[in-house]
Amino acid sequence: MLETESTNGATPTRPFKFLKIMDYLSEYKRIRKQSLTICEPLTTEDYVVQPADVASPPKWHLAHITWFFETFILRKFYPNYRPFDEQYIYLFNSYYESVGEHFFRPNRGHLSRPTVSEIKEYRKYVDSYMQELLAKANLSDELKNLIEIGLNHEQQHQELLFMDIKYILGHNPTFPAYSDESLLKSLTSTDQILNIPEGVYEIGYNGDGFCYDNERNRHKVYLNSYQIHSKPVTNGEYLKFVEANGYQSFQYWHSDGWTWVNENHITAPEYWFKKDGKWMEYTLNGLHPLNLDAPVCHVSYYEAYAFVEWAEKRLPTEAEWEIAAEQLDRGHCWDWTESSYLPYPGYEKPAGAIGEYNAKFMVSQMVLRGGCVATPEGHARDTYRNFFYPNNRWQFSGIRLCEK
C-alpha cells in the first residue's frame, strides 16, 4: 500500500510515457485531496484506533503517504529542504529498511501524539513544497518516475483507508455506519460460463503507461482450455456452504486452513453476524440483513479454497484470470487466484529503497486480481497483481469459479 500494503508498487523496468508537467500538479492536488475526502466522515477518535495489527489507524495512513513524498522526493530533489519533524522519518516509515528503523507496526494505535491536527499540518507543509517543485518545467526522468510511484502509492493507501476504516467501525459493538452512500456495484443479471480455448497466450504489462515492477516482464504462458464464470460468487451461494457445515468439515480445507479455522473459531466470512437466527452483514453503511445477491466479500484464501472444494469447482490461476479479464463482471471484490505471488520470468528488482516495495514480499502469499469497490478509479489494470497472505480477509476479497 502496500506493507502487505495492499498491494504493489515500485519502479517500472523500462521507460513509460510520463504525464505532462501541469498534469503532475493537477493530479497531485486531486489525489492528495481524495485521501482527506475519504476521512471526512470520521471523528477524531476514529483516526487513532487500531483493533488489530493488520489494520493501521487512518491518521497513520495520512502521515505515511506524506512521509513517502518527503522522504523519497523532497529530501533529495528540493534544495535545502527542511523536514517538518525529524522524528517522523521513524514514526511513519512502513518497512523500508534501507531508509532506517521504523516504528513497530502493531503499535501504531499507541500514537496519540502527534495529533490528527498536527498530521494535517504535516500534509499542508509537504504539499506546499511538492506543489512548488511540480510547478517547475525541468523535472528529470528520475523525479517524474518517483512522482508517479508516489501518486500510485497514495491511491493504494486510499483503498487501505477504506479497508481499515471498515475494520475499525465493524469491530465496534455498536456497528456505526461510515456513510449513507453505498459503495456496492450491481452484478450482471446472469452468470455465464466462458469457454477459453487452449493456446499460448501472453500476460504481463506491455504498455507505455505506469505499472508496478511485478507486472513485468510480459511473457508467454500455455493454457489448457478452461471454463471461467463471468460473475463472482454471491453471498447467497456462499451461505449454502456455511449452512452445509462447511466450516466444520475438515475435508474441504488445506491443513493450514483447518488449523486457522479452529484456532480462530471462524464460522463465517468477516463481518457476517447471526442475530436472532438471521444472518446480518456489516457494510460501510452499517449492519444490515445479508444481501444474498451481493458478491461474497472479506473471505480469506483458505475460505475461498474450501468453498470451491465443497462446490466441486476450482479457483482460476492468475494467467487464466488475465486472459479472460475483459469478459468478466469485476471490480466488486479482488478475486483470489490459485497462483502464488512469485516474480515473472526476467523480473529484476529495482535498485535502492524502492526495490523493497515488491520483491521482499514474493514468498508465502497468494495473488488476487481485478480490483474492488474501494480501488480508486483507473488504478486497477488487467495486469495488476495484488497479493495477501492466505489467512488475510480484512481486504475486499472474493471468489470467482472455474469449472474443474
Q: What is the DSSP string of 317-385?
A: PHHHHHHHGGGS--SSSEEEEEEE--PPTT--PPSSGGGGTTGGG-SS-EEEES--TTSPTTT--TT--
Contact 311, 241 (CB under 8 A): yes
Buried b (16+ CB within 10 A) or exposed e, 38-72: bbebbeeebbbbbbeebbbbbbbbbbbbbbbbbbb
What's the average model confidence in pLDDT over 238-260? 98
CA 259 – CA 34 distance, rounded (Å): 40
The CA distance from 168 to 240, in Å, is 28
Confidence check: pLDDT of 383 > 80: yes
In angstroms, how far is CA 81 from the centroid of its own chain?
32
Could you tell me the pTM of the whole model?
0.93
Q: Which residue, 337, 348, 254, is CA-closest to 10?
A: 348
**pLDDT of residue 13 exceeding 70:** no
Please give the single-letter amino acid code of residue 324: A
pLDDT, one tens digit per residue, over 340-369 is 999 999 999 888 777 777 888 999 999 999
Contact 282, 342 (CB under 8 A): no
Mean pLDDT computed over 381-391: 97
High-pLDDT (> 90) share of the chain, %: 84
pLDDT tens track for 132-191: 999 987 899 999 999 999 999 999 999 999 999 999 999 999 999 999 887 777 776 689
- Please determine, for residue 24, whether its predicted confidence score (pLDDT) is greater than 70: yes
What pLDDT, on the 0 to 100 scale, is given for residue 21?
Answer: 65
